[in-house]
Structure 1
């Protein structure tokens, strides 16, 4: 595999998203995510301490462009009793996390083309009772290979998780459109790519894993 393989995939997938953007189903994704979270037992998540929410915390993100819309998802998570955290881009391609609530003040990041919550920023290891992490992706396959946008923020974040034994048990789910979920072995990857354990689409959730 080389970088051109990933670049070609990203170019094709982004073109497809531009065509499908108006047909994205945010409500379906919200229902699927809530159903998926209900299937996770205590042994599936890195639950540590007691969080402020009865459901624990969920790390998600603010969708942009042709991504599956996460606005209804964030609202559904908060309504269901989860404490919702979304990323904030920091210098050096690092990320912190800010609590999202309905009506939260937002601003455009100065470092990336995304919207961020205005408020207190916390490193991931300061978040309590994290039940799951929902990740943006351009595609995911049945082997657990996630193809990101290539910005580098999530690559570094996931690499940090893999080096932190207490966090590796938190379920990772890539969020994609249904046509962006591919059979195992379809996507280019290398040894630096962190695998995910689940794929979420507006049509359903899938357990995946490297073989």
Structure 2
């Protein structure tokens, strides 16, 4: 039996996320409280993210991202990082699938990217090498496995960026059910591994298995 392709995996995972989002939205529209786990997941994600950072060497800055509707919510994480005294940078899309970075702060004005379906802060755009000492990089993902394989959205921005940051811990932000056994997700030699998975219920060290390339 052939291994499902990245495209097939992405389709499946996006459908599952959209269904989860629609279910919670329907409950709220009917004035029915969502499950407790869904109601507190932003706060829980933020708490676990800060606990992970406290276990890492110190740094003045953290790179993170503004979550979309179906992604694990990062708003509380961004706020807590800023409240902790760290400078928080989020990505902005540049031509040729490159990333620049802009300072995020509470109430920062946002504009929709002209290159990707994401919101970006309005402000000076910096190269990664211009940032203060970065403690960790929180990145979006549709899934990860225990070997550190990350399945992204397929835009290619992080695929180009992450190989340039091999000395800085990379944290994939996913839901708990989106962590898979080593070797289950498709990947190739150009995919940069990630070091941790962050979910609303925990953070987990990855790289505990070896995934065959396929």
Q: Settle same-fold status: TM greater than 0.5.
A: yes
How do 1:130-141 residues align onto structure 2 when only pairs under 5 Å count?
130-141=134-145
- Of the candidates 51, 59, 83, which is equivalent to residue 35 of structure 1? 51
Which residue of 2 is the match for residue 18 of structure 1?
18
Partners of 2:152 and 2:78 in 1: how far apart? 20
For 1:198 and 1:34, locate their aligned partners in 2 and report how far apart those are by CA, in whole Å.
Answer: 13
SS at match of 1:190: coil
Among 86, 93, 99, which residue is 1:89 paired with? 93
How far the C-alpha of 1:184 sits from its partner, in A, is 1.3
Change (3 A) 1:101 1:3: farther
Partner of 2:79: 75
C-alpha root-mean-square deviation of aligned residues, in Å?
1.6
Give structure 1 regions of 4+ aligned residues with deviation exceeding 3 angstroms: none
Partner of 2:27: none
Alpha-carbon separation, structure 2, partners of 1:41 and 1:4: 38
Partner of 2:34: none
Deviations 1:65-123 (A, max 9, x none): 21001111100100111100000001111110000000101000000000000001100
Secondary structure of the equivalent of 1:8? helix
- Cα separation, 2, equivalents of 1:3 and 1:10: 13
Residue 181 of structure 1: aligned partner: 179
Indicate if the aligned counterparts of 2:57 and 2:135 stay in contact, CA closer than 8 A: no
CA contact (8 A) 2:45 2:199 kept: yes
What is aligned with 1:45?
none
Gaps of 5+ in 1: 43-54, 162-166
**TM-score after normalising by structure 2:** 0.86
Look at both structures and tell me which one has the larger radius of gyration over its CA atoms.
2
2: distance between equivalents of 1:36 and 1:30?
A: 10
Unaligned 5+ runs, structure 2: 25-37
Q: Which secondary structure state, in structure 2, belongs to the residue aligned with residue 19 of structure 1? A: helix
- Alpha-carbon distance in 2 for matches of 1:116, 1:4: 33
CA-CA distance at 1:41 after TM superposition = 2.7
Query: Is 1:203 matched up with 2:201?
Result: yes
In structure 2, how many angstroms separate the alpha carbons of the residues matched to 1:122 and 1:41? 23
Q: Which moved more, 1:15-24 or 1:4-13?
A: 15-24
Deviation at 1:4, TM superposition (A): 5.9
